[in-house]
Structure formats: structure tokens, C-alpha cells
Amino acid sequence: MADPLIGELLSIGMFVLACVVLMFGFPVAFSLAGSALVFVLIGTVTGHMVLADLGALPSRIFGIMSNEVLVAVPLFVFMGVMLERSRVAEQLLETMGLLFGTLRGGLGLSVVVVGMLLAASTGIVGATVVTMGLLSLPTMLKAGYDPKLSTGVICASGTLGQIIPPSIVLVLLGDILQGAYTQAQLRLGNFAPEPVSVVDLFAGAFIPGMVLVGLYMAWVLVVALFRPKAAPALVRPVDSGSLLVQVAVSFLPPALLILAVLGSILAGIATPTESAAVGAVGAMILAAMRRRLTPAVVTDVMRATTKISSMVFIILLGASVFSLTFRDLGGDKLVEDVLTGMPGGMLGAMLVVMALMFVMGFFLDFIEIIFVVVPIVGPVLLMMDMDPVWLGVMIALNLQTSFLTPPFGFALFYLRGVAPPEIRTVDIYKGIIPFVILQLGMLVILALYPPLATWLPDVIFG
């Protein structure tokens, strides 16, 4: 009879191999599936697996491809890319800069506001950071802003798309948590669990996301108050009448689109997939209003959407092979034993998982972490009587923090790629530190006061 301990050690080895291969830059989906298949062969030789165990894979793949919730992913991607190509961000930044620019720190505030609006309308972090880096960083430097403050506020605001709904992170995380919660409840003997949906996660993330925006803006104002030279005011006069017209033209259309998409979800009028379709059509209307809905733009958007969506789904398929093999080798039992044996009970287990995800976020993208780690640890944590919405928002905030943290934060590299030559990498690293501290503070606040995430879903959905 095969020794279960050997199987658990093999599952650890498979996890380590996958991380090493990913850090060498191999394609994610093939790294996950390839590592799994290597250990399937090893497990077959040692008697810990049989090839017939992979017979569950086709049903898993069919379940993924027939999942209606995941249809929202390409629609939200299309919406975000279309808004980027129609230069909504460019017009918003220019207008908000004029609106807040006469205040000390006004340009910084405008970047945070635009980052929030783009997060609520696109949800694509890389595109937001690059767009704001190209458009606002030269303007802030020309106005005399401290390079560290400028780069920090751009990187931090660009990652708000991780936590502010409708976010692709929340769509994927909600779908994974839904399965993990059902699995946990069945193991606890509850055969009719209350469903957990992406909509619950959207509602739960809204208030923490807005609090985070408030913390960012407060930090910019503090810097402007105590270091006026780091965040000076613009001195050019602006005609108030023409400014109001500019604000109405640039702000109202995307605001109405956000209201239509997010409002229809939270009001229960439409599912995330239906509202994503509305958002995709709305983004095309905005592009047409700006006379940018040309055949070339539509072709470009379709190609980008296909590329990003294909990447997401092929990673999901590779992660399915990985998680199936991990469970068959006994890895899920090992994870359960480790987490339930942690000192401090639920709190200790949560701290270990958060620390693991934070460190993994240095090297891996959020998609890999969601598809690989959450299905493994999610059922164990949810068996400890954790609220699934609170857990989901905590994970999303944690992933956003790791997206910012030096030396490997993805947002930092996005900005480094488009920043002017005079901006040093060390300036970007120093500039982001206060915002990482704010992120960690937000995690602590949410950990100590879960109603920030659970109150709104309870009010809306009872």
C-alpha cells in the first residue's frame, strides 16, 4: 500500500516545481499542466496515482467552459480595452487636472480620482498604470511634483482595478470561492448551503475600495500640507464656464456607464454577465461619441480581447490539471492538517495564507494565485466558519498589495516601462512605500472589522 506521506511530499514537490518553472518565465498554463503531468507519472510509478485519475479532467473542463459567470470575463475585458482605445482616460485626466490643479496636491488627487473611475470601468491594472504613466507623469513632473510622490500615486491608483468592482479579479475569485464554499459546507454536513456569488463579492468590495481611495487622497493632502514643494498647485487660470462644460463632457458619460454596469448588478436587475454585455455596448457608444469607433480600432480591440481572454482561460485549464493532481496526491489533506494545526486557530491559519499569497504575489500574477492557491486553501479556511465574502475581499486586497510591493511588484514594472529616463527605479520603489503601508493598514482594518465587507451585501441581498 502506498505511503500517504510520500504522496503529500510529492504534492509539495509539484508545487515547488511549478513555482520555479514560472519564475524562469515559461508560459503559465503549460507550466502548471506540465508540472502536474510530470508528477502524475511519478505518482503512477510510486503507486500514489493511476492514470485513470485524470478521467475527471474532461468534466472539469466542460464545467469551466459552460460556466455562465466566466462569460463576463471577455466582456469586461472588451469594455476596458475599448475605453482605453477611445481615450476616455486621457480626457478624464486632463479635465480632472484642471478641476483640482489649483489646489496644492491637486494633480495627485486627480490621478487618484481617475484611477478610481478607470478601475470601476475597466478593471485592467496593466492598461490603467501604463495609460496614467504616459499621460499624467510628464504633467506632474513638469508642474514640479516630487518624482517619488508622482510615481507612487500613479502605481497605487492604477491597481485600484484589483479591488473596485466590476473587477476581473473579483469575477474569477467569486467563481472559485463559490465552489470552495459549497465544498466546505458539504464536508461540514450542510447539503443545502447558501450560495455565494460574484455579486456578493462586488458588494463586499465596494466599501473597502472606497475607503482605500480615501486613504490615498488623504496621503496626498498630508504630503501637500507638510511638504508644499513636493505637490505644488498649478497657477494657470481656467475659465469656470468652459471648465464645467469639459467636466460634464468627460466625466458624465463614463460615470453613467459605471452606474449602469455596477448599479444594475447591485440592484439585482442584471447578472454580472448581462451587465458586462451592457458595459461592452456602452463602451462602443462612448467610442462612437468620440469618433473613434473605426474598423481599425474595433479590430485592435477584438484582437486584444481575444488574446487576454484566451490567456485567462488556458491558465484556468492548466490550473485544473494542477489542482486535480495535487488533490489525488493527498496535498489537500496536508494543507488541511497544516492550517487546522496552526496556533491561534482561524486567525493563525488566515495569517499564514495571507503571508503565502503576499509573497507569491512578488513572482506570480493574480490569475495564477487565484486558480492555484485559492482552490487548495479556500475549503479549509471556509470550514473554520469564515465569512466567504470577507475572505474574498481580504484575498483581493492582499493581491493588490503584492502587486505594488518592491522589488517585484508588477505595477512598478509597468510604470518603469513608460516612465521618462530621468525617473530612477529607486524613485518608483521609494514612492510606493507609503501606499503599501496604507494597503497593509487597510488589510488590518478589514481584518479587525469584517462588517466593512459584509454589511453592504447583507443590506442589499438580506
The pLDDT-based confidence of 52 (bands split at 50, 70, 90) is confident
Does residue 449 sit in helix, strand or coil? coil
Residues in the chain: 462
Per-residue model confidence as pLDDT tens digits over 371-392: 878 888 888 888 888 889 999 9
Residue with cell 504630503: 223
Angle (nearest 5°) at CA 394 between 165 and 270:
30
> Could you tell me which of 12, 226, 134 has the C-alpha nearest to residue 419?
134
Cα 415 to Cα 84, 128, 133, 256, 407: the distances in Å are 16, 10, 6, 29, 13
Evaluate if residue 259 carries a pLDDT over 70: yes
Evaluate if residue 99 carries a pLDDT over 70: yes
DSSP 174-242: HHHHHHHHHHHHHHTT-SSPPP--HHHHHHHHHHHHHHHHHHHHHHHHHHHHH-GGGSPPP-----HHH
CA dist 171 and 72 (Å) reads 8
In this structure, which amino acid lies at residue 104? R
* Whole-number percent of the chain with pLDDT over 70: 94
DSSP 228-293: GGGSPPP-----HHHHHHHHHHHHHHHHHHHHHHHHHHHTTSS-HHHHHHHHHHHHHHHHHHTT--
Handedness of CA 22, 27, 32, 37 (dihedral sign): negative
pLDDT at 33: 86
Give residue 22's Cα distance to chain centre.
19
Interval 333-343 mean pLDDT: 78
Residue 191: count other Cβ atoms within 10 Å of its Cβ: 7
Per-residue model confidence as pLDDT tens digits over 421-443: 888 888 888 889 999 999 999 99
- Best-predicted range by mean pLDDT (29-38, 126-135, 330-339, 390-399): 390-399
Long-range contacts for 428-433 (Cβ within 8 Å, ≥24 apart)? 428/148, 428/151, 428/152, 428/155, 430/148, 430/152, 431/146, 431/147, 431/148, 431/149, 431/150, 431/151, 431/152, 431/153, 431/155, 432/151, 432/152, 432/155, 432/156, 432/404, 432/405, 432/406, 433/152, 433/406
- Best-predicted range by mean pLDDT (120-124, 353-357, 411-415): 353-357
pLDDT at 204: 92
What is the chain's mean pLDDT, rounded?
82
pLDDT at 1: 44
Contacts of 7 by beta carbon, 8 Å cutoff, 6+ apart: 43, 48, 49, 329, 330, 331
- Best-predicted range by mean pLDDT (334-338, 369-373, 447-451): 447-451
Q: Report residue 165 as a C-alpha cell.
A: 468592482
Contacts of 461 by beta carbon, 8 Å cutoff, 6+ apart: 199, 200, 203, 268
Evaluate if residue 141 carries a pLDDT over 60: yes
- Are the C-beta atoms of 188 and 143 separated by less than 8 Å? no
- 413 by Cβ neighbours in 10 Å (0-12 / 13-18 / 19+) ranks as middle
- Best-predicted range by mean pLDDT (136-145, 198-207, 257-266): 198-207
Evaluate if residue 330 carries a pLDDT over 90: no
pLDDT at 445: 93
pLDDT at 363: 66
* Whole-number percent of the chain with pLDDT over 90: 14
- Are the C-beta atoms of 283 and 79 separated by less than 8 Å? yes
pLDDT at 205: 92
Per-residue model confidence as pLDDT tens digits over 267-315: 878 888 888 888 889 889 988 888 888 899 899 989 988 888 888 788 7
pLDDT at 221: 92
Per-residue model confidence as pLDDT tens digits over 199-252: 889 899 999 999 999 999 999 999 999 998 888 877 655 555 666 777 777 778
The 8-class DSSP code of residue 105 comes to: T
pLDDT at 435: 93
CA dist 297 and 348 (Å) reads 50
Angle (nearest 5°) at CA 356 between 355 and 359:
85
Interval 12-28 mean pLDDT: 79
Evaluate if residue 50 carries a pLDDT over 70: yes
Per-residue model confidence as pLDDT tens digits over 188-200: 777 777 777 888 8
> Could you tell me which of 412, 435, 453, 440 has the C-alpha nearest to residue 217?
435
> Could you tell me which of 57, 452, 72, 444 has the C-alpha nearest to residue 278?
72
pLDDT at 114: 84
pLDDT at 335: 78
The alpha carbon torsion through 414, 259, 308, 392 (nearest 10 deg) reads 80
Cα 235 to Cα 6, 45, 143, 409: the distances in Å are 70, 74, 9, 35
